[in-house]
A = this chain, B = another copy of it.
Amino acid sequence: MPTSPRRATLAVVAASAGVSVATVSKVLNGRSDVAPATRSLVQSLLRQHQYVAPSPRHAAGARPATIEVQFDADLNAYSTEIIQGAVEAGAEAGVAVVVSIRPGAEHTSARVLDLVSAGRRALIAVTSELTSGQLGVLSRARLPLVVIDPLNLPRTSVTSVGSTNFAGGFTATQHLLRLGHRRVAYIGGPATAACSQARLHGYRAAMEAEGAPVLPGYVQSGHFLYQDGLEFGAVVLDLPQAPTAVFAGSDETAFGVMEAARSRGLRVPEDLSIVGFDDTQIATMVSPPLTTVRQPLREMGRAALRTALRLADGEKIDSHHVELATELVVRGSTAPVLPAG
């Protein structure tokens, strides 16, 4: 096959861009280890020279590979941020992002082979619970996997990206205690989920540090849903010693608590302070805007994509689990406690 004119083009492009032919080749192959500015320059020069890709990087076909981001349930505000981050990082690396929605249980061998034959370079699974059988199938197919916000505790066999859930829970609770609240309840996610446990223990640690008692009924477990906030919000607000503040384990749960308060004639934040967890776009759009613990969801999507590409390139990664920092964002749903009436 006459590849020499193509190689000549690569050499010209490399010279014009002031980089090596190897770097041009990396850009053509969608490798992640090229600076974005260099990539843009090389791509624009390739276009100027009307470069036509000679042969595929992967045996099967000539098309650029894709990375699949897979959710195990319908998309929501949380998913939106993850997709945004993955798409941004994908665009920088020259890799397209396919979005799919499948129950975690669906990782049969056939499905994984479909992914491989469809040219996926890696799979990013979001909040899915994967069995060791499923992990085995992925591993045998040599399809790199990165899990975002794993439900199980991080295992060395699975690469994952999360956020500092314990610190987030601590900071949220401490914020309420510093506003003078002593009666602070927590409405979290499943007791079995690693992230939920970490947030709960952050809450407990902050309460203990201030000597504020966790009264009976003050800890409730749902599934991070709006409905949980509505239901368990009602439960805690109807307690004989009702809390003056609620820390909710997700923004959605916090919105449910807001509605439970409103339907009881309680004003937020005057009668009840509420802190959420996630900082999705909705947090800025409710009234009052929600004080919440920001999970860097976009950055988690970006980090997952970059890590997946490195795994696909056969690179060594520093750690099988990375946690990005959470941050308290104070808005209108929290206020100093009213003097006891």
By a beta-carbon cutoff of 8 Å, the part of chain A in contact with chain B is: 44, 47, 53, 56, 60-64, 66, 68, 74-77, 79-81, 83-84, 87-88, 91, 96-102, 110, 117-119, 226, 252, 255-256, 258-259, 261-262, 281-282, 284-289
> Do B63 and A118 have beta carbons less than 8 Å apart?
yes
Task: State which of B64, B83, B262, B288 has its C-beta within 8 Å of the C-beta of A288.
Answer: B262
Q: Which residue of B lies closest to A109 (CB)?
A: B47
Bound complex: CA A75 to CA B88 (Å): 11
> Do A53 and B117 have beta carbons less than 8 Å apart?
yes
- A117: chain B residues within 8 A (beta carbon): 53, 62-64
Contacts A80-B76, A83-B83, A262-B287; A66 near B96 (Cβ below 8 A): yes
Copies assembled:
2
Bound complex: CA A63 to CA B116 (Å): 10
**A111 CB, min distance to chain B CBs, angstroms:** 10
A-B contact pairs, 17 of them (CB 8 A): A56-B61, A60-B62, A61-B119, A62-B117, A66-B66, A75-B83, A76-B281, A77-B77, A87-B99, A87-B101, A91-B101, A97-B99, A98-B98, A255-B286, A256-B285, A258-B287, A282-B282
Contacts A63-B118, A285-B226; A100 near B91 (Cβ below 8 A): yes
> Do B226 and A119 have beta carbons less than 8 Å apart?
no
Bound complex: CA A203 to CA B91 (Å): 41
- A255: chain B residues within 8 A (beta carbon): 285-287
> Do A77 and B286 have beta carbons less than 8 Å apart?
no
Bound complex: CA A74 to CA B91 (Å): 13
- A88: chain B residues within 8 A (beta carbon): 101
> Do A101 and B77 have beta carbons less than 8 Å apart?
no
- A252: chain B residues within 8 A (beta carbon): 285
> Do A101 and B118 have beta carbons less than 8 Å apart?
no
Bound complex: CA A229 to CA B56 (Å): 51
**A67 CB, min distance to chain B CBs, angstroms:** 10
Among A63, A102, A119, A258, which residue has the most Cβ atoms of chain B within 10 A? Answer: A63
> Do A259 and B289 have beta carbons less than 8 Å apart?
yes
- A77: chain B residues within 8 A (beta carbon): 77, 80, 281-282
Task: State which of B101, B284, B287 has its C-beta within 8 Å of the C-beta of A84.
Answer: B101
Bound complex: CA A256 to CA B281 (Å): 13
Other 13 A-B pairs with CB < 8 A, given A76-B80, A91-B100:
A63-B118, A64-B117, A66-B96, A68-B96, A74-B84, A77-B77, A87-B100, A96-B98, A96-B100, A97-B98, A252-B285, A256-B285, A287-B287
Bound complex: CA A100 to CA B110 (Å): 28
Bound complex: CA A302 to CA B56 (Å): 32
- A98: chain B residues within 8 A (beta carbon): 66, 96-99
Bound complex: CA A99 to CA B75 (Å): 13
Bound complex: CA A214 to CA B308 (Å): 56
Task: State which of B61, B81, B284 has its C-beta within 8 Å of the C-beta of A60.
Answer: B61
> Do B75 and A119 have beta carbons less than 8 Å apart?
no
Bound complex: CA A91 to CA B84 (Å): 21
Bound complex: CA A204 to CA B88 (Å): 41
Q: Which residue of B lies closest to A86 (CB)?
A: B99
